[in-house]
Amino acid sequence: MKNRVLSTLIAGSIAVGALSVMPVSAQTLVYEDFEYQYINDLQEIEITGYLGTDRYVDIPETINGVTVTSIGESAFRENEYAGQVILPRTVTIIKKSAFYGSKLSSIVMKGVETLEAHAFSGCTSLDWIYVDDKLKNIHNCAFQGTRIRDIVIPSSVEFVEQRAFNNTTGTHTVYIEDGLTEIGEEAFLSAQLLDWVYIPPSVEKIGDYAFGYFSFDHIRYNENLIIYGHEYTAGWAYAVANNITFREMVMGDVDFNGAIDSLDASMMLSYYASEATNGDYDLTRVQTDCSDVNADGEINALDASEVLTYYAYTATGGTGSFTDYLGL
């Protein structure tokens, strides 16, 4: 195993002639293409730099038997090579500016809980991310200037800080899973192409200029923008206050036209058939949320059948909401 001391980092200056005792944790070591340091009393390892020229980068889970748990501050900053990066599940934190301004285009981060400020800021090629439901914190400017088309915030995320997704000009959709409570100021600012946002009931606070973009000192919104959600929630209030089209999520109303009928059932069946075959018919995440009417985790003929039965029931004078009818 190649393992040598590359350089030694010394905090502060050392007086001439003074004896210096170098803590092992401050040394930058090298393993294969990676620079690293021991952290947390030598119990864990942090990747602090990348010396390779590969486009595909697989970060090791352990080095010399010690677990790799973090990607250090500016470790891949402005790196020209690493495009597709896979982190082991053991990495739980990506520190400040770790990939700032690099050529990163995709990253798998299954164990990551914290994304520090500017973690991927300025990664103008970054358009594909895999995270698990471990992610808790997205700090300020973490994804600023990236090019993610469809953003999904997992339910495990507790806060999205200010400007977290600022200037992601190519973003079309933002789906926030139920769990997030606060969206920071300017969190998704400059998303001029934004088609829709789903804001769950868990969101209690939405910072100023969270969505939309500035034009001549005024915040503007894509005129086709729709906010999906639930009445009397923060998302609904934001839509009303900013004159944005709001659509209530109603179980069974897949096309959001206010009626639950055969058209909705047929969309469910098309989706089911497509999933089973070539996948050429797709529904948005908000539409699939409204499609699993019997709440069994699947969208199929059973759901369509419930819709058709309810439609027949209302067509013959039956009253009451669909959810009451389903007994949910």
Q: Does 248 contact Ca ion by CB under 5 A?
A: no
The tokens describing 90, both together, are 């053991």
Which of 73, 186, 253, 306 lies at the binding interface for Ca ion (CB under 5 A)? 253
Chosen residue from 264, 265, 290, 304 binding Ca ion by CB under 5 A: 264
Which residues partner with 94 through β-bridges?
71, 115
262 binds Ca ion (CB under 5 A): no
**Choices 1-9, 14-22, 238-246, 293-301 (CB under 5 A): range interacting with Ca ion:** 293-301
Applying CB under 5 A, which part among 8-16, 78-86, 197-205, 264-272 lies near Ca ion? 264-272
Closer CB to Ca ion, residue 73 or residue 303? 303
8 A C-beta contact, residue 177 and residue 200: yes
Task: Indicate whether 255 belongs to the interface with Ca ion (CB under 5 A).
Answer: yes
Q: Which long-range contacts (CB under 8 A, 24 or more apart) does 52-58 make?
A: 52/81, 52/82, 53/81, 54/81, 54/82, 55/81, 55/82, 55/83, 55/84, 56/83, 56/84, 56/86, 57/33, 57/82, 57/84, 57/85, 57/86, 58/86
Instruction: By CB under 5 A, tell whether 54 contacts Ca ion.
Output: no
Longest dimension (CA), the chain: 96
- Position among 90, 169, 181, 294 found at the interface with Ca ion (CB under 5 A): 294
Size of the site for Ca ion (CB under 5 A): 10
Residue 133 interacts with Ca ion (CB under 5 A)?
no
Q: Quick check: 298 binds Ca ion (CB under 5 A)?
A: yes
Q: Minimum CB separation from Ca ion for residue 259, in Å?
A: 5
Q: Which CB atom, from 219 or from 259, has the smaller least distance to Ca ion? A: 259
- Answer yes or no whether residue 303 interacts with Ca ion by CB under 5 A: yes
Judge whether 168 and 149 are in contact, CB under 8 Å. Answer: no
Q: Is 132 in the site for Ca ion (CB under 5 A)?
A: no
Candidates 161-169, 216-224, 243-251, 302-310: pick the segment binding Ca ion (CB under 5 A). Answer: 302-310
- At a CB cut-off of 8 Å and minimum separation 6, what does 70 contact? 39, 44, 46, 47, 91, 92, 93, 94, 95
Strands 196-198 and 226-229: parallel
**Tokens 């069994």 appear where?**
296
DSSP type of residue 7: E
- Quick check: 309 binds Ca ion (CB under 5 A)? no
**Which residues are near Ca ion by CB under 5 A?**
253, 255, 257, 259, 264, 292, 294, 296, 298, 303
